[in-house]
Amino acid sequence: MTFTGAPAESDLQTVIARLRVRIGQEEAHYGGELVDGARLLRLFGDLVTEITIRTDRDEGLLSAYSEVRFTAPVRPGDYIEATARLTRSTKLRRFVALEARKVITSRDTSTSAAQVLDEPIVVCTANAVTVVPKPQRPGSPDSSRGPDEKHAVSIGGRQ
């Protein structure tokens, strides 16, 4: 598949990234063995990066999270499944909806007991915006770069 600029609107519903991780004991930071929300945002960051790699063959640059909502606690031993879906695309920006769900929960009855949940529990939702490099025109000086060379993205006057 060849990508030139922003993906077509018809492709937006098909660009999805998923991952599943087990939360380790070392990630408990608060009373009650709670895991900090930043752990979920790191998962979201990885998913947004995958989306831009799939759409633009570039990692892009995460520029904003919005509407972040933590809706249920996460504890060590929980399995979290996170999903990202491209919802909108412009020439230089990709808009991504994010959701993390607990699919397996640790149990209080034993340090090694766990339970597969019949219905996953949404633990966090957010939206993200990522910036991608400006598409290169054929024959432009930068179009001769190889596929492994990085492209600079200018944001707010900084590179």
pTM of the model: 0.75
Phi and psi at residue 37, to the nearest 5°: -65, -25
pLDDT one digit per residue (tens) for the chain, 159 residues: 334 445 455 554 589 999 999 999 898 888 888 999 999 999 999 999 999 999 999 999 999 999 999 999 999 999 999 999 999 999 999 999 999 999 999 876 666 788 999 999 999 999 999 999 887 766 655 544 555 554 444 444 443
**In sequence order, what E strands does the chain have?**
16-22, 28-30, 34-35, 61-70, 79-89, 93-106, 114-131
